[in-house]
């Protein structure tokens, strides 16, 4: 049986990231240049025959319905990233439930089939939020990131739950697909993607991926379309740390992504939905 690689793309634009919210408020979103379409098409071409899961922001889907349909028509999974990229753990029950159901319905109306997966902005989940996601009609979540040194990531204790492969059973009808990291003793190393993929030299990154595959036989990778966009506007007011996190090694990302695909070409590149066989 082949090892599985689950490529996941969080479809949001450069001005919607959490690090820039102090300088780019939600009220200004409509005034900014949309660059996500071009970057997503580039990712679709890089993926080629490999299947991926696209967690799409409802706000963008509303403005770019043809992009959502193109992702679906190319054989990829359309899933939800919420509607407005608000952190789950900073919303009321009512607001979060509306965000979850509105984004799900918006995407389903565009592709004509159920949307069963969700990823929280900045992995901002906890046990209660997982219950709300399930109650909103989703069959799985992919928001748990075990790397504890990031302040926004949520905390969930999954140690007592049963597993099928890397999927953790939350209830009879709901699973969690965690981001892939690996442990050495008690220390967690973040090799699931995003900024860590851009910072960590590729030889070390692929060693981490191999370790995960040896242990779990599946690996979950995440990234954003803006991570291949070297020409995106610069938010000069942001702190040096936030600018480093956002802009470091953007130019190298497409080559590193292609190297990842080539290095693990013997693996099966599958969607989250297919991995769960739902």
- Beta strand pairing call for 4-11 and 268-269: parallel
Range of the domain at 104: 4-276
Residue 103: give its domain's CATH number.
3.20.20.370
Mean pLDDT of the chain: 95
Backbone angles phi, psi at 156, to 5 degrees: -140, 135
Is residue 119 a contact partner of residue 8, using CB atoms and an 8 Å limit? yes
Query: 148 vs 145, which has greater pLDDT?
Result: 145
**Total domains, the chain:** 1
- Beta strand pairing call for 52-56 and 140-141: unpaired
How far apart CA 88 and CA 123 sit, in angstroms, is 8
Q: Which of 66-80, 141-155, 159-173, 177-191 has the highest mean pLDDT?
A: 66-80
Tokens of 170: 């939350």
Q: What is the mean pLDDT of residues 203-214?
A: 95
Q: What is the mean pLDDT of residues 243-255?
A: 97
At 154, the pLDDT band (50, 70, 90 cuts) reads: confident
Q: Is the pLDDT of residue 149 over 80?
A: no
- Alpha helix locations (H) across the chain? 36-47, 58-63, 65-73, 93-111, 127-135, 194-199, 202-216, 240-247, 253-263, 272-276
pLDDT of 152 reads 72
Q: Is the pLDDT of residue 238 over 80?
A: yes
pLDDT of 127 reads 93
Q: What is the mean pLDDT of residues 137-142?
A: 98
For 59-108, the pLDDT digits (tens) are: 999 999 999 999 999 999 999 999 999 999 999 999 999 999 999 999 99
Q: Is the pLDDT of residue 147 over 80?
A: no
Q: Is the pLDDT of residue 43 over 70?
A: yes
pLDDT of 148 reads 60
């Amino acid at each position: 049986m082949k090892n599985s690689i689950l490529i996941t793309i969080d479809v949001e634009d450069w001005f919607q990231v959490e690090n820039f919210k102090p300088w780019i408020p939600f009220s200004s979103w409509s005034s900014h240049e949309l660059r996500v379409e071009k970057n997503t098409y580039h990712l679709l071409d890089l993926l080629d025959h490999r299947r991926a899961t696209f967690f799409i922001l409802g706000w963008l889907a509303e403005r770019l319905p043809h992009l959502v349909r193109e992702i679906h028509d190319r054989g990829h999974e359309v899933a939800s990233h919420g509607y407005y990229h608000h952190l789950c753990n900073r919303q009321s029950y009512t607001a979060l439930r509306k965000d979850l159901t509105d984004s799900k319905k918006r995407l389903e109306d565009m592709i004509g089939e159920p949307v069963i997966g969700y990823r929280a902005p900045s992995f901002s989940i906890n046990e209660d939020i997982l219950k709300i996601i399930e109650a909103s009609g989703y069959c799985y979540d992919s928001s748990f990131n075990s790397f504890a040194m990031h302040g926004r990531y949520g905390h969930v204790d999954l140690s007592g739950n049963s597993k099928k492969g890397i999927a953790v059973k939350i209830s009879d009808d709901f699973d969690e697909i965690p981001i892939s990291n690996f442990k050495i003793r008690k220390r967690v190393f973040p090799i699931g993607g995003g900024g860590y993929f851009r910072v960590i030299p590729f030889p070390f990154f692929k060693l981490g991926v191999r370790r995960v595959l040896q242990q779990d036989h599946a690996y979950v990778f995440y990234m954003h379309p803006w991570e291949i966009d070297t020409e995106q506007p610069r938010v000069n007011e942001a702190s040096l740390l936030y600018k480093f996190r956002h802009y470091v090694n953007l130019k190298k990302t497409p080559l590193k992504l292609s190297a990842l695909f080539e290095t693990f070409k013997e693996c099966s590149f599958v969607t989250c939905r297919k991995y769960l066989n739902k």
